[in-house]
Amino acid sequence: MGCDIHLHAESFDGERWHYLPGCPDPDRNYRLFSVLADVRNEYDLPVICPPKGIPEDISAELKGAEDFNSSIVTIDEDGDELSAWLGDHSYSWLTLEELMAFDWCQKCTLHGLVGLREYYWWDECARKYEESPKEWCSGTNLPVVSENEAKEIIGNLPGNFRAKLMALEKPPLDRTYCRTSWTLPTYKTCRSFWDTFIWLAFMSHGEPQNIRIVFGFDS
């Protein structure tokens, strides 16, 4: 079963927290979930903070949002009532100040199974820039080879780079995977979060301690 994040923003006026509408919602990204709250952390990625629970001083608009039938948050431009949900587990919150203090450049290592064509392109063109393969999976019923075996298979193919790519699109090589791993900065594993991060920074008006995300996850 998949897992999604339910994330909302709040701002502090010196006395209490208020719901802040418009915060971009990051896509499903288990590497991001790992970093924010140690959720689905199969790669043992660095974690900003284990789940803290729902803040005691949560905004009135978000109070009770862990209940699926949560309270009304606001009214949209069409006059419709909008409600918020925080999911059903691993509730937490982080200020922008905490997000900024985290070392997003620390290295992490991922691993998976990569199709031979994607492996060849990535190994030749993107790996040296500390980028992930565009696509990978954790398991398959199709043939799997080691990196040394993949390099030998590709090295025995005739022709130049383009010719080898075309050959790897044909059976049986198009259904063969390579088991590999790669190291990259943590921020590159969490690209879906950067729109949210930039929006929070813009809305903070230079006071990162006064803006936070409150979030949870569904199973």
If one compares 96 and 72, the residue with the highest pLDDT of the two is 96
Number of Cβ within 10 Å of residue 70's Cβ equals 17
State the average pLDDT over residues 62-82: 62
* Beta carbons within 8 Å of 131's beta carbon, 6+ residues apart: 122, 184, 188
Check residue 84 and give its pLDDT: 79
Task: Kindly report, residue by residue over 130-142, the tens digit of the pLDDT.
Answer: 999 999 999 999 9
- pLDDT score recorded for residue 206: 96
What confidence tier does 64 reach under pLDDT thresholds 50, 70, 90?
confident
Q: What is the pLDDT of residues 157-195, one digit of tens each?
A: 999 999 999 999 999 999 999 999 999 999 999 999 999
What is the phi-psi region of residue 87: left when phi exceeds 0, alpha when psi lies from -120 to 50, beta otherwise?
Answer: left
What confidence score (pLDDT) does residue 79 get? 59
Instruction: Reply yes or no on whether the pLDDT at 85 is more than 70.
Output: yes
Mean per-residue pLDDT of the chain = 92
Range among 24-33, 61-70, 148-157 rated most confident = 148-157
Q: pLDDT value at position 80?
A: 63
Give the span between the Cα atoms of 209 and 3, in whole angstroms.
Answer: 29
In degrees rounded to 5, what are phi and psi of residue 32? -65, -45
For β-strands 144-145 and 177-185, DSSP reports them as parallel
Dihedral of alpha carbons 182, 184, 186, 190, sign: negative
pLDDT tens digits for 91-122? Answer: 999 999 999 999 999 999 999 999 999 999 99
58 in Cβ contact with 214 (< 8 Å): yes
The contacts of residue 187 (CB under 8 Å, 6+ apart) are 104, 105, 194
Say if residue 68's pLDDT is above 60.
Answer: no
Q: Give the three-state DSSP class for 10.
A: strand
What is the per-residue pLDDT for 62?
85
CA distance 57 to 17: 7
Q: What is the pLDDT of residue 157?
A: 97
> Is the distance from CB of 116 to CB of 147 less than 8 angstroms?
no
Statement: residue 71 has pLDDT above 70: no
Tell me the average pLDDT across 21-28: 90
Indicate if the pLDDT at residue 76 is higher than 80: no
pTM value is 0.88
pLDDT (0 to 100) of residue 69: 53
